A and B are shown apart, each in its own frame.
Chain A
Amino acid sequence: MAAALALHQSSSWLSAMRAPLARMSLAAAFLPAFLAAPKPFSWAMPALPSLLELFPPWLLAVPKKKTSHSRKAMRSANKGLKDKENLVHCQSCGSPKLAHNMCPKCYRELNISWKAKNRSADPSGITVF
């Protein structure tokens, strides 16, 4: 406790702790400075050195230990790539393809043959078969 006081000398939220115990209420010990000391009512906003004052220190989350390799691996157990189940045979070449999609092998073959036909029939490249 004394060590903590030594370290946090300027901390406003602990300034309430330094006041004689008899004068303080229990609630005031856990409030930030601007709320602890009784003040007459005014419309002005209280002066806040930082917003972190709204959070007592034991609310600021921080990891306690480095996540172990095993725990990290367990967490990513479900994150693997999922197998594709929608594989079927192409009706015209029999090779595997995605269901309800165009067979890339057949489409490639067709394109090649059409382009070859275009080139041989019309070298200028105007007509399209």
Chain B
Amino acid sequence: MKHGVAFRKLSRTSSHRMLMLRLGKKGDLPAFRRATGFLLDQTMVPKLFSDLATRYADRPGGYTRVHKFGNRPGDNAPHAILELVDNPRDLRFQMTARAVGWELLGKRVGQGDPKALVKTGIPDIVDVIEQEKTVPPEGRGELRSVTRKNLQKVLKFRGVGAVEEMSRIAEDHVVSRPSHIPGGVGTPFLQDTVLAQPLALKEIVAAKQEKKEKHAAYAGIRLKAGQTLPGGQRSTLHLAQGDLGRENPGRWQWFTRRKLGVDQTSVWNQL
């Protein structure tokens, strides 16, 4: 149950939703009658009192979540996505899992051999997640403090199997290869997952050299504007400009802000 809504209408929608969810948790006959009276779609009422009530049994409130989503093109109205927390398509959970994968990969790219990483991936994601669950807010761990905070929040009321699911999403985001590559798992619509690109390029380069085509082997990875690879260091404006973005060699490198998740193309050119 997720909709894009204009931001100003949100407070009314979310308060109605929260009221319905509170009734679902109560579960008794008067609550059932009230919910039936309010909801337009009667098929949702049993779902409210069974699935959603069990999902939010331990959670003391905060059953809905708002994600701001830019502005609507027609009238420039602020847009948002409303979702029920812990639903199968929980956006925050998905984004946190992907962030975990991205950050770990970015860290390890800087530390060690990228070629080995491409083959092995990140085998110890589950251990990292389990460890980060226990780290206090002020403490230090493998992840950024914001990512750790999000991780702890999304895993709090999720129950068994949440850590496994998170690690699976992270691995898929980072390591999975498209199906046209041998041994590839294949998500046919995600053509350029993070590690798949250099692999794919390697295959293409090797094939071209075999056929001895006129065009020389492709030297490096060409990124689109706004696209990065993990472990990089370019600013958002530089990324957005794409090929027109200028490098800042020399003194300026000391003033540019380095953040995890920003592109460092030179590393990947060594593959």
- One of B28-36, B112-120, B155-163, B255-263 at the interface: B255-263
- One of B15-23, B126-134, B208-216, B227-235 at the interface: B227-235
A89-B259, A89-B262 given as contacts; is B226 within 8 A of A95 (CB)? yes
Residues of B within 8 A of A24 (CB): none
Contact with B along A60-75 (1 / 0, CB 8 A): 0000000000000000
Contact with A along B72-103 (1 / 0, CB 8 A): 00000000010000001101001100110111
Taking a contact as CB atoms under 8 Å apart, the answer to whether B187 and A116 are in contact is yes
Q: Determine the residue in chain B with the shortest Cβ distance to A110.
A: B94
Q: Please give the distance in Å from B265's CB to the nearest CB on chain A.
A: 12
Q: How far is it, in angstroms, between the C-alpha of A89 and the C-alpha of B232 when the chains are bound?
A: 11
Q: In this assembly, does B254 line the interface, its C-beta being within 8 Å of a C-beta of chain A?
A: no
Residues of B within 8 A of A96 (CB): 226, 236-237, 239-240
Taking a contact as CB atoms under 8 Å apart, the answer to whether A94 and B232 are in contact is yes
Taking a contact as CB atoms under 8 Å apart, the answer to whether A106 and B95 are in contact is yes
Q: In this assembly, does A39 line the interface, its C-beta being within 8 Å of a C-beta of chain B?
A: no
Q: In this assembly, does B219 line the interface, its C-beta being within 8 Å of a C-beta of chain A?
A: no
Taking a contact as CB atoms under 8 Å apart, the answer to whether B189 and A113 are in contact is yes
B:217-271 near A, CB below 8 Å: 226-230, 232, 236-237, 239-240, 259, 261-263
Q: In this assembly, does B68 line the interface, its C-beta being within 8 Å of a C-beta of chain A?
A: yes
Q: How far is it, in angstroms, between the C-alpha of A21 and the C-alpha of B194 when the chains are bound?
A: 96
Contact with B along A9-45 (1 / 0, CB 8 A): 0000000000000000000000000000000000000
Residues of A within 8 A of B146 (CB): 91
Q: Determine the residue in chain B with the shortest Cβ distance to A83.
A: B237
Taking a contact as CB atoms under 8 Å apart, the answer to whether B189 and A90 are in contact is no
B residues neighboring A (CB under 8 Å): 67-70, 81, 88-89, 91, 94-95, 98-99, 101-103, 144, 146-147, 173, 187-190, 226-230, 232, 236-237, 239-240, 259, 261-263
